[in-house]
Amino acid sequence: MPVLLTLPPVPLGTNVWYLAYGSNLSSSKFVKDRGITPLATAVVSVPGFTLALESAGFPYQEPSFASIRPIDTHHHAELRKERQLLGTAYLITGEQYSRLIASEGGGIAYKEVAVCVERVGGNDGEEGEPGESEEDGGNEGKGGPEVMEARTLVSVMIRRPEPKPSQRYKDLIVHGAEEANYPDDYQRYLRGISTYRPPTEGMRRLGAVIFLSVWVPLMALMEKITNLGISCGGDEQGNAPAWVVWLVRTLMAIMWWHHDYLHAPLWGRGDGLDQEEGVRLPVDKKRGCQIIIKEEGDKVCYKGDFMKMK
C-alpha cells in the first residue's frame, strides 16, 4: 500500500538530497542560472517511476516540461515501453533548497515529494560528515545497491495527452545526461524524445504569433507577481502565498482552454499533438486535451516502496 505523508520543512543547518530529472540535470541551468553549487552529486535510478513530459507549459513556445509518474504497465503499453527513471541527486543545504523551490515557481506548478532512489554512479564532491544530511545514507555494505531518500518536485498541472517539449528544453535534459555520463541506452532514449516544431510559414505561423501576442504579456505579468509574492509574502521554504498560487493556476487553465477550444481548431495546435513524427496518443475530439490540477492528498499508485507528497 502506498503511504502519503506531508513533508516537513528542511531543518536549518541540515543538508538534503534533491532529485533532478529535467532541465536541472544541466549544470548550466542548476549551477549557473539558479546559482546553486551542490555539495555532492550522484547518478541514481528511481524504481517504479518514469520520466513524463506532461507538466503544462506554454502553447506554441514551450508546450511541456518534465515531471515523473509511476510506470504504467497496462494503459497504452502496446504503444510505448516506459523506461525506469534515471536522475541526478544533488546534496544541497536547506537554504539552497528553499531558493530552489522559489526558483521553480514557489509551489505553483510543482509540489514536493520524497522518493527512494538507488545510487548507480559515484559522487562528484564531498558529502560532508555523517549525520549532516536530513536523509539516511541507505544500504551501503548490505550487499545491494545503496538506497536513500531524496526530495523532488512533481507537477500539479499536467496535460493529457502529453504535449511535446521544445527542442531547447529537450537539449537541456540531453546535455545534462551527457555531463553526468548516464548509461548510453538511457542517453539514446532521451535523444529519441520527439519535440514540438514551431510553425514557420502560412496561417499556422500567423496563428502562433496571434496567440503569443495575447498570452506572453499576461504570463510575464504573472511571473512578476509570483516573484513579488514570494519575496514579500512567501514562507521560509520558498513557497508563494496561496492567492498567488490560485491566480497563476487559474490563468494557466484559462490559457490552455483558450488554446484547445478556441484557437487550435482555427489555427492548428501549439502542443505538437497534430505533428506526425513519432508515436502519439489520440486527442479526444469531444473533450480535446485536459489540463488536470492535482489537489492536496492525491494518491500515487505505486507498487513497492512509498512516495510522500506535500
Place of cell 515529494: 113
Which of 62, 82, 95, 104 is catalytic? The answer is 104
**270 within 8 A of 165, measured Cβ to Cβ:** no
Determine if residue 19 is labeled as part of a ligand binding site.
Answer: yes
Which is nearest to 156 in space by CA: 90, 46, 86, 69? Answer: 69
Determine if residue 110 is labeled as part of a ligand binding site.
Answer: no
* Separation between Cα atoms, residue 302 and residue 310, nearest integer Å: 17
C-alpha cell at 305: 516502496
* Separation between Cα atoms, residue 193 and residue 98, nearest integer Å: 31
Determine if residue 23 is labeled as part of a ligand binding site.
Answer: yes
Q: Which helix (H) or strand (E) holds 294?
A: none
Determine if residue 21 is labeled as part of a ligand binding site.
Answer: yes
The one-letter code for the residue type at 242 is A
**240 within 8 A of 105, measured Cβ to Cβ:** yes
Determine if residue 240 is labeled as part of a ligand binding site.
Answer: no
Annotated catalytic residue 146? no
Determine if residue 22 is labeled as part of a ligand binding site.
Answer: yes
> For the residues of 25-40, what is the DSSP string, one character each?
GSHIIIIIIS----SE
| Residues recognised as catalytic | 104
Binding residues: 18-23, 169
List the binding residues for substrate: 18-23, 169
